Amino acid sequence: MATAARLLNKQHKDVLDLNFGCPAKKVVKKCGGSALLADVPLLEKIVRDVMAASDAPVTAKIRTGWDDGSVNYREVGLLLQEAGVPWVTMHGRTRAQKYTGVANWDHIADLVEALDIPVIGNGDVVDGAGYERMTRHTRCHGVMVGRGAIGNPWIFARMRAVDEGVPPPVIDFAEMCRVTIDHIRLEVALRGEKTGGYVVRKHIAKCFKGYRGAAHLRRRLFSTEDPEAMIATLEEAAAAGDPRVPDESALPPVGEG
């Protein structure tokens, strides 16, 4: 990890965020991600080694613990604070929960009280209302959105609207098509045509949920692996227009934040 940090110094990153929250089996079985919550001495060594090697500030994301019998977010949070990280992000579930059940915002609130550094809350925020509830409930200093942004990139504009005290933006069908086209092009530029076209599908599957004719549009998009054909389909759909605007119930369900 320290070697990787030194390599990243050449890229002049603004911050390095160590993810001790990933619950994926393929990561955990290699003693990565949230597996480190069950080996706090190793977690501390990694943090200190990376901080010593990195020119950029080093932050960390954690979960509440490995399982209900080993909830140790306070211990880990205080350790990270003492090591000198500028802030900590916490997802309100244990590794054992993965993304099931409901994120425990009380634990996030408790960590906010326990630490002197900022705490970023994470888990079950999928819209502006959820963002407002989390910040009020936990008094966290910020909110990280992960899975809740899949197919829902406008969540950030809706969160900003809460902060500014203005109505949330209404995203029409043509705008959703335009942003999806931009997304396809960016994925292709980053990953190449084959992988980029494949990766963007999970976003497309949710982007148009709640629109009349969405199932038909998804079938057309998924009938091809050619990104340019996807873009042509979206341009055609945008030109045709769709008067229906999805309400909050069309957003991803709680548990995907």
Q: Give catalytic residue positions.
A: 22
Angle between helices 227-240 and 214-222 (to 10 degrees): 160
| DSSP secondary structure letter of residue 71 | B
**Contact 81/115 with Cβ under 8 angstroms?**
yes
In the three-class reduction of DSSP (H, G, I as helix; E, B as strand; rest coil), residue 65 is classed as strand
What span, in angstroms and rounded, lies between the C-alpha atoms of 212 and 242?
7
For residues 21 and 77, give the distance between their C-alpha atoms in angstroms, rounded to a whole number: 13
| Coil, helix or strand at residue 239 | helix
Tell me the two tokens of residue 216: 């038909």
Other C-beta atoms closer than 10 Å to the C-beta of 150 total: 17
